Structure 1
Amino acid sequence: MTYHLLCRLALASAFVSAAAAGFTACTAPPQTSATATVANKFGDATLRQIATAQDERQSAALLPFLSNPEALYRREAALALASVQDKAAVPALTARLTDADASVRVAAAYALGQTADTTAETALRERVLQEKDALARFTALEALGKCVSRAGLAGLAKLPPALGADTAAVSGQAWGLYRAGLRGVTSEAAAGRLVQLLALMNPYRARLAAANALARTRGLNLTSYAPAISASAQNDPSYAVRSAAAAALSKASAAPTVPAVLATLARRDPDYRVRISALRAMTAAQYAPVKESAWAALSDAHEHVALAAAEFFLAHASGEPGVLFLEKANKLSAWRPRATLLATALKLGGPEKNAIRAAVQERYQATADPYEKGYLLKAMGEDPAAYEFVRNATFATGQPVVIGTYGIEALVAMRHLPSFPAEQHSTFALTMQRAVGTGDVAVMGTAAEAIRDPKLDMRRVFANATFLKDARDKLVLPRDLEAWQSLQQTIDYLEKKQPEPFPVAKAATHPIDWAAVQAIPAGQRARIRTSKGEVMFRLLINEAPGSVASFVQLVNQGFYNGKNFHRVVPNFVAQGGCPRGDGWGSSDYNLRSEFANLRYGEGAVGLASAGKDTESCQWFITHAPTPHLDGRYTIFAQVVSGMDVVSRLEIGDRIEKIELVR
């Protein structure tokens, strides 16, 4: 999860206990000082063998372990196959759904869900009816949602009467419907059931899944459910449920009561994340009734809320003079909301547009912050008349690379505007060709993406792809994989060829260092000193050994010291660790994805990637539960203190130092 692209307990008995206690939402078990020096599990040579086969994606080596006499090894092999995601393993995993050990059944169900293979649907459905263990039943239902067909969805949307009062089944059903919705598998009956699951009588886990499903499933019209969703957004005791329910109200915007509900939430909800969700749920059609609450949010005590308000105006403001937003922007001290309002001013224009542009350019020249400069270039992307200024800034020599990254993105955004002059199309094409030749991976990759954009119709401009091939061949893999991908996709587009597979690095190029892994205790912590304060991570060595070992080695090298948080998306993630500072940087090796049965709750720390098995040095911290990332991005740590600091991090804030502590 670059710029473009962001729990299994260590012991099965502890995991089952958590399930019995109500399926707690934390991503990993609480840490005590007594366990801080406990050795990790990889002193066991067989577990190292299983983890190595996982890392090397060797299904054939893992399958025999599914029949091992030891339940521990059967469970670990099943979990390893959840990362491999080989559909050929489905029959063997299906057989383990009836294992005598409940923890093995849990692992097998999770792994089957990770394969997303519809051939597992029948077995999972049958297991739900037969399963006696609460966690295994829950996991089978959630996995069913990842595999269910449209024809089978009705069975998931309506539990058998015998399971109707079972909290594990109700929660599992909610998560199953959520996973199905992410795949676009939904129905009116499913939506109706999700709304029922929002009721406070249901477990927290069920309400969280239901709210997120309603918010993220595409194509739903929730107008008729507005009263129930509004009640959840206003009254649920959990901020995470209120936040997701508020987001879901964007799909009920035609209901006459919704604007007032969103306006009230944006002003009064005690949690900043709910206020952000309410602002994001506001639509253009609601502009008049919600405008005043958005104006008020610009002065919210939390900078992320002010940014969400500014983004609302940028997306939806109409019928207002641009100079009004210039005046509002000049009153703000936080640079990101201010730059976003300046973008709104340029977008709306009016008689004072030349003066607005001059004011933005003057502010660009005055600031020394490269990230603010970048955002001001982004603002100028709303104004084709600023083309020359932005182009000159993009290609200026001796400047921080982040300025060029923002600049090329602004030029591409400008080109997409209907008001971009037709006589400048050829100039833009030449600019993109120049960008490909710069050797800067971000500038090259973004330009290549623009060249292959069908809406820009640039295939007729470039008769051949030689200049793209020359640029591609100078890249170094796997370090420059993301730029390589973009250039290769554009070459295939111009030559009208089927896309080539991406050259993902094999495990042999960077195998897990087991000596380094065994030196990391199960309770290892990392203190991140930032320019906003300290954050403490607990590293999940048992769940993500390769990722944790890489992180620890980079920490010991001082790699992260002085780096920036280059990407902060309010109520989503704060991301850092990029050596370039713009999201396009990497180490000279890739890691393989480690998809343990963990969840992205608040404060989960994941590895960014450009696709499966392309993880490197960048990592992100979640502001709130973000379950759409589950099973797609490696979780290697959990914040145990300092979430108040994480919530205040902004683009450009520094990672002063990371150190390992006990």
Structure 2
Amino acid sequence: MRKFLGIVLFICFLACNRNPFAESRYQPAPYTPSSVVVPRPDQAIVPLPEKPAVYAIFLTTQGNLTVELFDQDAPKTVQNFIDLAQGEKEFLARNGQKVKKPFYDGLTFHRVIKDFMIQGGCPNGDGTGGPGYRFDDEINGKSLGLDKIQAGQAPYYQYQLQRAVANELKIKSREEAEAKREQLEKAFEEAKKLSVLEILFRTGYKYNENVNSHKAIKGALAMANAGPNTNGSQFFINQVDTPHLDGLHTVFGQLVSGSDVVDQIVKAGNSKTTIKKVLIVDKRSIVKPTS
């Protein structure tokens, strides 16, 4: 009996002292690809690239922005944007009533930051609003190379690294952190050996392995959010490269003309530029004549 009790205690000791960062827990999220449909293709009022693709033209009070939408690489995000822009999707108005009309018409770029980005898509005009629903991120972390970077070598993701460690140790306050300082420091060093992909996964991000995701470079159109899987209607367009956002936001388009307009919007300041309309032009079906 004494021998049996000793074995049980030894097993409990191993379980209690097992390193929670010794192995990966990452699992790709289930994902079913979809095709993007443009219900009412608009006519282009500005020159577009020859490339067959879906384009969004933002008509703003500062000028026009033309973006190629990544219908193959973020189809569900692109479809949501198109349906909101064209009034094909119901959303919740500020009075609590469901409305079906072009969502972005009349909204402003409510948040602009020099050498960063311009953000729009908030019906409240202050970053607190949305369409009344949320949907998941649509990102392939491996295609961004996040599985090849150790968290300890990626200063951009230190906040997420700290969160992952705190979550694992169930630390919810500064007092608890102080009480577990030694354990916390040891766990932090162990967690630094994990990949950025693993750390982000442990802080709630979902990644699939079906799409080819794009980095948040200059001119990238991406979903703004309040954390993992909280997408709605708000978006931003980068004025510069923002590598610290890779894997944290779904990039679903790329600016092809209008970078000077982005600069003007930034210069104008918060809520000084209005989106008059968003046109959706579908050039995917264009077939070049054979000689």
More strand by percentage = 2
Larger Rg: 1
Whose relative contact order is higher, 1 or 2, with alpha carbons under 8 Å and at least 6 apart?
2
Please give the TM-score of this superposition, normalised by the length of structure 2.
0.50
More helix by percentage = 1
